[in-house]
């Protein structure tokens, strides 16, 4: 907190000086109130996704849980998505050939379903290809927060886009449920 230098006020008449010093002390000690963080409301959905690039005898399903959260601050809707997965155990550790690409897209939709803003996050690919010391692929990824003006009744949703290595089909999309309306 800054120190208030009152030397200049020593010349103020005593009848008025005390009130000025008190007022300055109150103003100097008062900071603007912190704006409260918006209260996020979230929904969660789960899908079991097959690794389309693998057709061997071992289990290859990924259980993907995506939580979509949204909050309103005046006319602005803020949203993010967080993915958690329980993937299979592959022989190779930290295998960069599981996916050719992966993105987690978060979208803001108006009440009528029209997308007014979207943001893709590609950092999920390397996280999904990382493993623990036994080859298990479990982890989490959170998108940056997307902010956009949206009318009342708007909500957010997420789409997981995966391009499995070796399947030749390009990106497959997996739609995840929407946040509560905010």
Query: What is the tens place of the pLDDT at every residue in 118-175?
Result: 999 999 999 999 887 777 889 999 999 999 999 999 999 999 999 999 899 999 999 9
Residue pLDDT, tens place only, 50-82: 998 888 788 889 999 999 999 999 999 999 999
Give this prediction's pTM: 0.76
3-state secondary structure of 127: helix
* Rounded distance between C-alpha atoms, residue 49 and residue 66, angstroms: 13
Cα dihedral 142, 124, 146, 171 sign: negative
Rounded to the nearest 5 degrees, what angle is found at the Cα of 83, between the Cα atoms of 82 and 85?
155
* Rounded distance between C-alpha atoms, residue 45 and residue 67, angstroms: 7
What pLDDT does 36 receive? 64
Average pLDDT, the chain: 83
What pLDDT does 35 receive? 57
What pLDDT does 10 receive? 44
Domains of the chain by start residue, with CATH: 1-31 (no CATH), 41-176 (2.60.40)
- Which among 81, 82, 84 has a CA at the least distance from the CA of 108? 81
What pLDDT does 14 receive? 46
């Amino acid at each position: 907190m800054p120190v208030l230098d009152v030397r200049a006020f020593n010349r103020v008449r005593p009848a008025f000086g005390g009130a000025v010093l008190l007022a300055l002390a109150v103003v100097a000690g008062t900071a603007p109130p912190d704006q409260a963080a918006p209260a996020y409301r979230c929904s969660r959905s789960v899908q079991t996704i097959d690794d389309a690039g693998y057709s061997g005898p071992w289990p290859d399903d990924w259980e993907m849980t995506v939580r979509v959260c949204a909050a309103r601050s005046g006319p602005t809707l803020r949203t993010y998505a967080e993915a958690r997965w329980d993937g299979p155990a592959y022989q190779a550790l930290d295998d960069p050939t599981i996916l050719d690409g992966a993105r987690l897209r978060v979208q803001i939709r108006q009440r009528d379903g029209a997308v007014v803003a979207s943001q893709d996050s590609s950092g999920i690919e390397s996280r999904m290809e990382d493993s623990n010391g036994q080859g298990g692929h479990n982890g989490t990824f959170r998108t940056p927060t997307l902010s956009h003006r949206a009318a009342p009744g708007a909500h957010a949703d997420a789409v997981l886009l995966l391009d499995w290595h070796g399947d030749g089909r390009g990106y497959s999309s997996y739609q995840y449920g929407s946040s509560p309306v905010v």
